Amino acid sequence: MAGKVVLHYFNGRGKMESIRWLLTVAEVEFDEVFLTTREQYLKLLSNGDLMFQQVPLVEMDDMKLVQTKAILNYIAEKYNLHGKDPKDKLMVNTYSEGLIDLMEMIMVLPFAADVKPKLDNIQKKANERYLPVFEKALCGSIYLVGGRLSCADVQLLECTLMLEEKFAGILTDFPNVKSFQGRMTRIPAVSRFLQPGSKRKPQPDDVYVKTIMEVFDIKSPFL
């Protein structure tokens, strides 16, 4: 029998947070090994654990999984969170990739030399490009695709919470999305994950940024 799932990443959100969210909704327990030194990262490299020299790394089902989208797709497929047929899976993936694009814009903010124009750009794109898509998709629907919970729903919840941390009231003009968010937070596993003391990570702080820059040997802000 395969052992417990183990996540190798920093003690912060980054690209691992969507994986934490999806495992939580699938009710899969996991342990975490936090990268805190460059030596840890170099050891993973020397062991051949990082195919493309990048984290996240997830140990699961006797495999060492890398590449965020591939990991998310594997978890979604295994736990019936990926659509019931190829067409539904296509739409789930389409929504998921759009959400990942938006969340990655927020993810990199702590590494920017000038945050204000990037925040303005995120807010504009969220309001004009991304949120209208989901507002329309949720008109008369409980979930985004096929009337059933999928990884895209989990990522939409994660994304809307991230947006509200930066832009209070951003969902005011998107009532379907706001109602969806409320429904999702009532799922027991989600409700627990949102409570203090869970494995959900807080917004990035200076310690998180400093650790990443030291582990990857980055000398100055790169955005």
pTM of the model: 0.95
Residue 56, preceding peptide bond in cis (omega within 30° of 0): yes
The contacts of residue 75 (CB under 8 Å, 6+ apart) are: 19, 22, 23, 26, 28, 60, 81, 151
pLDDT band at 209 (very low <50, low <70, confident <90, very high): very high
pLDDT band at 138 (very low <50, low <70, confident <90, very high): very high
- Range list of β-strands (E), the chain: 5-9, 30-34, 57-60, 63-66
Q: Residue 33: pLDDT above 80?
A: yes
